[in-house]
Amino acid sequence: MAIERTLCILKPDCVRKNLQGAVLKQIQDAGFKVLGMKMIRLTPETAGGFYAVHKERPFFGELVEFMTSGPCVPVALEKENAVADYRKLIGATDPAEAEEGTVRKLYADSKAENIAHGSDSVENGRIEVAYFFAESELIANQ
């Protein structure tokens, strides 16, 4: 299996609930290497650009509003098979459908406020990591 990158965002609900450490521990315990991490507050432009693929969806406005409602923590992760393994770790978008023990089942309130983002493909993993981090900010390159 190939080494992949995937982007986690610990969303504003995660930060409001003080769960950054708990979720990150679960991620690190599963073998993911943290290449980079920062706490930022997204602007409507940054959040809208990141989720541009969802622009036509009825929930786009709500998504951007939520993602700009407080600080969040983008985390660049690396591991063999990172994209699929991370998606399994966080669970289904809707916490009601997520498997027991997954991050979203444990901590999320709804589809909109679902604690953590994860890239949905290997290609998007690379693109999304690059959206938030310059190569020089990632520890693999230092």
Which residues are annotated as catalytic? 117
In the list 84, 112, 127, 130, the residue contacting ligand CMP (rule: CB under 6 A) is 112
In the list 68, 93, 121, 124, the residue contacting ligand CMP (rule: CB under 6 A) is 93
Judged by CB under 6 A, how many residues of this single chain contact ligand CMP? 10
61's enclosing H/E stretch is helix 60-67
Nearer to ligand CMP, 106 or 112 (CB): 112
In sequence order, what are the residues at sequence separation of 6 or more whose Cβ sits closer than 8 angstroms to the Cβ of residue 79?
3, 4, 6, 31, 32, 33, 85, 86
25's enclosing H/E stretch is helix 20-29
Cα-to-chain-centroid distance, residue 58: 21
In the list 63, 76, 77, 115, the residue contacting ligand CMP (rule: CB under 6 A) is 63
Residue 69 contacts ligand CMP per CB under 6 A: no
Q: How far is CA 26 from CA 20, 33, 108, 132, 136, in A?
A: 10, 12, 15, 22, 26
Q: Two tokens at 41?
A: 């507050």
In the list 118, 125, 132, 133, the residue contacting ligand CMP (rule: CB under 6 A) is 118
> Within positions 33 to 62, which residues make up the interface with ligand CMP, using CB under 6 A?
54, 59, 62
Using CB under 6 A as the criterion, which residues of the chain lie in contact with ligand CMP when the complex forms?
54, 59, 62-63, 93, 111-112, 114, 117-118
